[in-house]
Amino acid sequence: MFSFTLNRPKSLNAMTPRMGEDLRNVLDWFETDRTCVTGAGRIFCAGADLKAWNNDQQQNKTDEQERVAADPIIAAVPGGAYGGGTEILLNCDIVVAAEGAKFALPEVKRGVVAIQGGIPRLARISGHQLASELLLLGRTIDAAEAQNRFGFVNQVVPPSKVLSAALDIAKQIKLGFHETLLAHVGSPASTRVYKGDNIKEGLKAFNEKRSPAWRNLR
């Protein structure tokens, strides 16, 4: 069994391009049939590091669709997950979350899209209408709603027991890794988003702490 921790607690474990590459390398290196991932500090993962992402976008380094991180099997979520962090969970086989943990897919507010398999996986788990609610509104839900209404959390436990509960489940798993569902990656719609002007504006607005001025490109 292999266990690892996202360890940027001061940045809420936000994923940089380097972290994504390191994650792929680590999972390629360790051949194991049971893997558990958690996050250091008060939150599992805040999604993409928008400052690093903004720097890449402003320099026209638009390789997001090539940076698809390998997915772990079991997630131990201490405080919640946002954006790409929630997508990691959606691509896991089992999710154990702390009581009161928060989840959101707020990409719509920044002119980006859930590119790491989150869209088809959420629709498959929760159904079209509930998936649309999270994706189109970008609203935040808690662990109880993620488990009972949206169905992508398996267990909700006290914060002090999150990792031990996930590791206990990992010990019971007999089967190996699964492949991530990535049917939409590289699609014309996704490419249009990541090569367009609105993603640059959304990320720039976040870093400048202002509302984005969207352009209607239809």
DSSP string, 155-196: EEE-GGGHHHHHHHHHHH--S-------TTTT-HHHHHHHHS
On whether residue 99 sits in a domain, the answer given is: yes
Of 96-110, 140-154, 201-215, which one has max mean pLDDT?
A: 140-154
Look at residue 163 and tell me whether its pLDDT is greater than 60: yes
- At 125 the pLDDT is 94
Under DSSP, is residue 3 helix (H, G, I), strand (E, B) or coil? Answer: strand
- How does pLDDT run across 87-106, given as a tens digit for each residue? 888 988 899 999 999 999 98
- In this structure, how many other beta carbons lie within 10 angstroms of the beta carbon of residue 212? 18
Mean pLDDT along residues 106-134: 85
- In this structure, how many other beta carbons lie within 10 angstroms of the beta carbon of residue 207? 13
Mean pLDDT along residues 136-161: 96
On whether residue 56 sits in a domain, the answer given is: yes
- At 31 the pLDDT is 59
On whether residue 63 sits in a domain, the answer given is: yes
The domain in which residue 26 lies consists of: 2-172
- At 69 the pLDDT is 40
Q: Using alpha carbons, select from 179, 187, 117 the residue that is nearest to residue 152.
A: 117
User: Distance (Å, rounded) from C-alpha 1 to C-alpha 67?
Assistant: 25
Look at residue 185 and tell me whether its pLDDT is greater than 50: no
- At 82 the pLDDT is 92
142 pairs with which residues across the strands?
Answer: 102
On whether residue 203 sits in a domain, the answer given is: no
- At 35 the pLDDT is 82
**Lookup: tokens for 80:** 């919640």
- How does pLDDT run across 1-22, given as a tens digit for each residue? 788 899 989 888 888 878 877 8
Q: What is the mean pLDDT of the chain?
A: 78
Report whether 77 contacts 60 (CB < 8 A): no
Q: CATH number of the domain at 57, please.
A: 3.90.226.10
Report the percent of the chain where pLDDT is more than 70.
71
**Lookup: tokens for 13:** 């474990």
Report the percent of the chain where pLDDT is more than 90.
33
Residue with tokens 């970008």: 138
On whether residue 186 sits in a domain, the answer given is: no
**0.85 cut: is pTM over it?**
no
- At 154 the pLDDT is 97
- How does pLDDT run across 32-90, given as a tens digit for each residue? 567 888 999 988 988 776 565 556 556 665 554 444 444 446 999 998 899 888 988 89
Task: State how far the alpha carbon of 5 is from the alpha carbons of 13, 41, 152, 186, 208, in Å.
Answer: 9, 10, 21, 29, 30
Under DSSP, is residue 16 helix (H, G, I), strand (E, B) or coil? Answer: coil
Q: How many domains does the chain have?
A: 1
On whether residue 138 sits in a domain, the answer given is: yes
On whether residue 148 sits in a domain, the answer given is: yes
CA atoms within 13 A on the CB side of 125: 26
On whether residue 213 sits in a domain, the answer given is: no
